[in-house]
Amino acid sequence: MTKDAVQGAAEEADQAQSKKGLKKQQKEAEKAAKKAEKQAKLAADTQSTDEDDFAKDRYGVPQMVQSQQKLDRVLVRVQKLTPEKADQLIWVRARIHTSRAKGKQCFLVLRQQQFNVQALVAVGERASKQMVKFAANINKESIVDVEAMVRKVEQKIESCTQQDVELHIERIFVISQAEPRLPLQLEDCVRPDGEGDEDGRATVNQDTRLDNRVIDLRTTTSQAIFRLQSGVCQLFRDTLTNKGFVEIQTPKIISAASEGGANVFTVSYFKTSAYLAQSPQLYKQMCICADFDKVFCVGPVFRAEDSNTHRHLTEFVGLDIELAFNYHYHEVIESITDTMVQIFKGLREKFQTEIQTVGKQYSSEPFRFLEPTLRLEYTEGVAMLREAGVDMGDEEDLSTPNEKLLGRLVKEKYDTDFYVLDKYPLAVRPFYTMPDPNDKKYSNSYDMFMRGEEILSGAQRIHDAQLLTERAIHHNIDLEKIKSYIDSFRYGAPPHGGGGIGLERVCMLYLGLHNVRQVSMFPRDPKRLTP
């Protein structure tokens, strides 16, 4: 090859390259032009909106609320939107539950807690085309302030809780914008079991829901569950306070396990270690010895059981009761069962809406109970089970399936979902349980059941320091660690008994739910520490 040829080839290559480059440039120019065109159009659009929009002060995203001003504006609760408010101009703050634009109008469902109402933005005197477009484009779950006229509707709106009215929106402002994509859809969370399968629609499994608990808690079902749970606590407090009980607070960091050392969390405590309380047991008893007579305590309780079942949590709320009695521990049982009955009655009277809301997603029979509460002895229970073909020993503890079966048998025979099983075998109870005076094999202890599942465990406690020491030795407990507890009985201690109730279990079983995580706001179990 000559030098020229080489040069020529190089030129050719250059030319080829420049040709390619030219094409590229051309393309880029086209792109840029398109972009510019788009931008211009957009600008024109916004300009035109700016220009033609007579309603531009009636919608938008205002400044973040940093408490700049104290508006003298009354925000009406969605729940209160009834025909009585018809033809009034009101303000509402709510979430955008769903939105559906249809030509010149846009339907919104505004939600506030478990209540929702239909709202409408339509092009007209008060709203412009751009305003309707803006309303339709607000992301789901955003919080908006809305000024609207309440109007009666001819046909009931079946999909909303406020069925008799709708809102004709005159102003709409976004107070807090939600991200466009939600990790899960609220409708998918409240779909009754099995219904989604038929239509091939999505259901959200429990773990996903718990992972995004904040959104899941917004569902009507969750809202109802936790309102009812709050009701249980309040009814518990009110009932006991009326009976002359004193509410106490006990430490949760303790030096010794109260019921068997296996299932306690150990925490490091400076140079030594401590435990997280499995129950306020020892402390409420010490309060009895300190003449408080009747005490109760509402607070967290920890169990380090590595069991992943539908009804176990590692941290739950314990409702604990302890009271001194005169001659027989049945006085204690009666006091506790009466409290439970008051709670059931209170729920039935004051929380019917919540019960029905939960029932829409998780259907169950209404909770049944007797007055006075049914009390069966352990031996009677075992006899009923044996009659049904269950093979079990006299002093054997009830297994979970047997517990449930007994619940069904009791329900069939006595038509009650709540009963007390009395006189448990001594061997299966903690060391501080008072033995039965007539039969050493049994004890003055009891469990209470709702829908065949245990919610309360209680007993008459040993108030005699010497017997208590004997029983502790029998259970191989280090006396040194419970010295202060045993000592508290040396200076005169009244006979007393009590019990501890799991708040979550009571709610779960009252509503007939199937998993305790549904009634724990931020559940803790061996596999879950967040959120």
CB 377, min distance to other proteins, A = 21
User: How far apart, in whole angstroms, are the C-alpha atoms of residue 167 and residue 82?
Assistant: 11
CB 408, min distance to other proteins, A = 4
CB 469 within 8 A of CB 356: no
- Looking at 147, 187, 305, 380, which residue is catalytic? 305
CB 242, min distance to other proteins, A = 33
Helix, coil or strand: residue 138: coil
The neighbouring-strand residues paired with 275 are 254, 266
Q: Which of 280, 430, 497, 512 is the binder for other proteins (CB under 8 A)? A: 512
User: How far apart, in whole angstroms, are the C-alpha atoms of residue 171 and residue 58?
Assistant: 5
Q: Which residue has the tokens 């709702």?
A: 450
Decide if residue 133 touches other proteins (CB under 8 A). Answer: no
Decide if residue 514 touches other proteins (CB under 8 A). Answer: yes
| Annotation marks residue 303 as catalytic | yes
Nearer to other proteins, 402 or 443 (CB): 402
Nearer to other proteins, 497 or 512 (CB): 512
Decide if residue 365 touches other proteins (CB under 8 A). Answer: yes
Strand residue runs (E) in 68-187: 89-102, 105-112, 115-122, 143-152, 165-176
CB 205, min distance to other proteins, A = 20
Nearer to other proteins, 512 or 523 (CB): 512
The torsion angle over the Cα atoms of residues 508, 307, 251 and 339, rounded to 10 degrees, is: 30
Task: Show the site string, 450-479: x = touches other proteins by CB under 8 A, - = not.
Answer: -xx---------------------------
| Annotation marks residue 335 as catalytic | no
User: How far apart, in whole angstroms, are the C-alpha atoms of residue 225 and residue 313?
Assistant: 17
CB 424, min distance to other proteins, A = 23
- Looking at 128, 279, 443, 457, which residue is catalytic? 457
Positions in 382-421 near other proteins (CB under 8 A): 387-389, 401, 404-405, 408-409, 411-412
Positions in 146-165 near other proteins (CB under 8 A): none
Nearer to other proteins, 280 or 512 (CB): 512
CB 513 within 8 A of CB 519: yes
The neighbouring-strand residues paired with 99 are 108
CB 223 within 8 A of CB 519: no
Parallel, antiparallel, or unpaired for β 418-422 and 445-450? antiparallel
CB 216, min distance to other proteins, A = 23
For 291, phi and psi rounded to 5 degrees? 70, 25
Positions in 274-333 near other proteins (CB under 8 A): none
List of residues 6+ apart from 505 with CB closer than 8 A: 311, 316, 450, 453, 454, 455, 516
| Annotation marks residue 125 as catalytic | no
Three-state secondary structure string covering 230-278: HHHHHHHHHHHHHCCCEECCCCCEECCCCCCCCCCCEEEECCEEEEECC
Give helix then strand counts, H and E, for the chain.
15, 17
| Annotation marks residue 457 as catalytic | yes
Nearer to other proteins, 372 or 389 (CB): 389
Decide if residue 198 touches other proteins (CB under 8 A). Answer: no
CB 416, min distance to other proteins, A = 14
Nearer to other proteins, 204 or 405 (CB): 405
User: What's the distance, Cα to Cα, between the start and end of the chain in Å?
Assistant: 75
> Site for other proteins (CB under 8 A): how many residues?
16
CB 401, min distance to other proteins, A = 7
Nearer to other proteins, 30 or 415 (CB): 415
Among the listed residues 383, 372, 288, 283, the one whose alpha carbon sits nearest the alpha carbon of residue 336: 372
- Looking at 213, 312, 348, 528, which residue is catalytic? 312
CB 452, min distance to other proteins, A = 7
For 511, phi and psi rounded to 5 degrees? -85, -5
User: How far apart, in whole angstroms, are the C-alpha atoms of residue 81 and residue 76?
Assistant: 8
User: How far apart, in whole angstroms, are the C-alpha atoms of residue 123 and residue 462?
Assistant: 77
- Looking at 58, 126, 171, 311, which residue is catalytic? 311
- Looking at 97, 451, 496, 505, which residue is catalytic? 505
User: How far apart, in whole angstroms, are the C-alpha atoms of residue 340 and residue 369?
Assistant: 10
CB 513, min distance to other proteins, A = 11
User: How far apart, in whole angstroms, are the C-alpha atoms of residue 522 and residue 491?
Assistant: 43
3-state helix, strand, coil in the chain (%, to 5): 40, 25, 35
Nearer to other proteins, 57 or 391 (CB): 391
Nearer to other proteins, 225 or 513 (CB): 513
- Looking at 95, 303, 463, 517, which residue is catalytic? 303
Positions in 477-506 near other proteins (CB under 8 A): none
| Annotation marks residue 95 as catalytic | no
List of residues 6+ apart from 401 with CB closer than 8 A: none
Written as six digits, the tokens of 345 are 């009655």
CB 498 within 8 A of CB 332: yes
Nearer to other proteins, 349 or 412 (CB): 412
Positions in 94-123 near other proteins (CB under 8 A): none
- The C-alpha R_g of the chain, in whole angstroms, comes to 33
Task: Show the site string, 335-364: x = touches other proteins by CB under 8 A, - = not.
Answer: -----------------------------x
- Looking at 335, 454, 488, 520, which residue is catalytic? 454
Residues that bind other proteins (CB under 8 A): 364-365, 387-389, 401, 404-405, 408-409, 411-412, 451-452, 512, 514
So which residues are the catalytic ones?
303, 305, 311-312, 454, 457, 505
